[in-house]
Amino acid sequence: MTKIDTSFDTRHIWHPYTSMSEPLPCYPVDSASGVTLHLEDGRTLIDGMSSWWAALHGYNHPVLNEAIKNQLDKMSHVMFGGITHRPAVDLCKRLVEMTPDPLECVFLADSGSVAVEVALKMAFQYWHAKGEKRHKIVSLSHAYHGDTFGAMSVCDPKNSMHSIYEGYLPEHLFAPTFTLGFDDEWDDSAVDELFTLVEDNADDISAIIVEPIVQGAGGMRMYHPNYLKTIRELCGHFGILMIADEIATGFGRTGKLFACEHAEIAPDIMCVGKAITGGYMTLSATLTTRHIADTISNGEAKCFMHGPTFMGNPLACSVALASLSLLDNGAWESNVSRIEAQLKEELFVLKGHEDIEDVRVLGAIGVIELKTPINQEKMQAYFVENGVWVRPFNKLVYIMPPYVIKEEELRQLTGSLVNLLNRPDFKEFLA
């Protein structure tokens, strides 16, 4: 069999957040099964990334494979305008059942970024239908909500793409990031600045958007549930919509089915994606309340103004439904609890290391925050040489493995992290 043309890849294919003039090496994957990536050269890597949060059941899962195959024999795609089909109906029914009670209207989209775009448009169109011009969104510093223009506009204004696209992005309002960790003692003064920001701009604010409990790509921060409770109370008090971006945290990653459950709150709009299909296909959903849906639908436009070509793709909906059915047996909960306990035991030994700012764990997420940015190419090569797939960035070395990972496989992952930090030449792996 002809090998993957890596020279063409290097010369012509733009990978996420990489340079075409100085591209980082890419490792050719031939196949994947369970929690293992099989490289073309015969090496195997234990996957610590779940393909960026998505492959929660591992790879090549027989139930998910069967769902795809069965649907493929019927139809791979059909437009969703004026047509419906069983995979979409059954999936949306399941999403309504498993998400917080007030959420009962589902808009299917193609990716996490698009789900956020949809959520923002819902918020703006809701207020437009009510005859109010509210053009501001409140977000947090260190937030990350996606790479499309609307989603970028509510990402961290200093540490994201804002500076490059200044003048093109809408200008929104940013509160300081949350400083109290998940297990810290609560202090009411921690939300003073957020309260002042909302109070001073309440008449212009359409919604507050937040990643519940865990800020993802903006720094992998894990914060106190009372922040969420405060946002819910603020939104209720000032009549502002609350958007929960559960794209990364949804479907069990933090130890709860949805991270909002840690605070026992329900948002007005919720975005889900990534793990929804078990990593098989791109799909996302934005859910909202009947009140918001009716208000939009009875407004000037008489409809919600969005409609992706591949909305409700039957293949994606079928595998998503199968993925969610795998969560129904409850095994994910004990697996995530087991992973969390092992991550704490094996990573917390690094606390106090001279090069480490912090080590934090929640659910099936383990994070090592360094004091200095990493040399990505060199550190990536180290992990591959040690038989694991870990994709560090900036100052973060983190893992979020599939829920089906075995104890010894996880130990290989954590061991590679600990051994790296304890190398006498570790500083050579820093930028």
The tens digit of pLDDT for each residue in 3-59 reads: 999 999 999 999 998 999 999 999 999 999 999 999 999 999 999 999 999 999 999
Tokens of 141: 């510093």
Query: Are 53 and 144 in contact, with CB atoms under 8 Å apart?
Result: no
Residue keyed to tokens 């089915």: 257
167 — pLDDT class (breaks 50, 70, 90): confident
Examine the residue annotation and report whether 69 is marked as an active-site residue of this protein: no
Examine the residue annotation and report whether 371 is marked as an active-site residue of this protein: no
Phi and psi torsions of 266, nearest 5°: -125, 125
- The two beta strands, 44-47 and 36-39, are antiparallel
Tokens of 145: 């909500």
Query: Are 371 and 355 in contact, with CB atoms under 8 Å apart?
Result: yes
Percent of the chain whose pLDDT exceeds 90: 95
Q: How far apart are CA 261 and CA 99, in angstroms?
A: 10
Examine the residue annotation and report whether 130 is marked as an active-site residue of this protein: no
Q: What is the pLDDT of residue 373?
A: 96
Catalytic option among 47, 110, 121, 274: 274
Average pLDDT (424-428) is: 96
Average pLDDT (307-315) is: 96
Q: How far apart are CA 422 and CA 400, in angstroms?
A: 21
Q: What is the pLDDT of residue 390?
A: 98
> Average per-residue pLDDT in the chain?
96
Domain ranges in the chain with CATH number 3.40.640.10 = 74-327
146 — pLDDT class (breaks 50, 70, 90): very high
Name 318's bridge partners.
none
Percent of the chain whose pLDDT exceeds 70: 100
- The two beta strands, 396-399 and 365-370, are antiparallel
Task: For 238-279, write each residue's pLDDT tens digit.
Answer: 999 999 999 999 999 999 999 999 999 999 999 999 999 999
Catalytic option among 245, 256, 280, 398: 245
Q: What is the pLDDT of residue 158?
A: 82
Supply the pTM of this predicted model.
Answer: 0.97
Catalytic option among 47, 59, 121, 144: 144
CATH classification number, 6-60+330-429, choose in 3.90.1150.10, 1.20.120.1200, 3.80.10.10, 3.40.50.620: 3.90.1150.10
Domain ranges in the chain with CATH number 3.90.1150.10 = 6-60+330-429
Q: Which residues contact 247 (CB under 8 A, 6 or more apart)?
A: 112, 115, 116, 146, 271, 272, 273, 274, 284
Query: If you write DSSP's letter for every residue of 162-213 in order, what string do you get?
Result: TTTTTTTSPP-EEEPPP-SBTTSPP-GGGGHHHHHHHHHHGGGEEEEEE-SS
Q: What is the pLDDT of residue 330?
A: 83
Q: Is the pLDDT of residue 314 over 70?
A: yes
Average pLDDT (278-299) is: 97
Examine the residue annotation and report whether 17 is marked as an active-site residue of this protein: yes
C-alpha distances (whole Å) from 178 to each of 30, 184, 245, 255 are 42, 12, 16, 20
| Of residues 263 and 330, more confidently modeled | 263
Q: How far apart are CA 251 and CA 276, in angstroms?
A: 7
Q: How far apart are CA 286 and CA 271, in angstroms?
A: 5
Q: How distant is the alpha carbon of residue 169 from its chain centre?
A: 22
Q: What is the pLDDT of residue 1?
A: 65
Tokens of 40: 């073309």
Instruction: Name the helix (H) or strand (E) containing 30.
Output: strand 29-33
Topology of domain 74-327, CATH: Aspartate Aminotransferase; domain 2 (3.40.640)
Q: Among 336, 342, 145, which residue's Cα sits nearest to residue 254?
A: 336
SS3 111: coil
Query: Are 114 and 308 in contact, with CB atoms under 8 Å apart?
Result: yes
164 — pLDDT class (breaks 50, 70, 90): confident
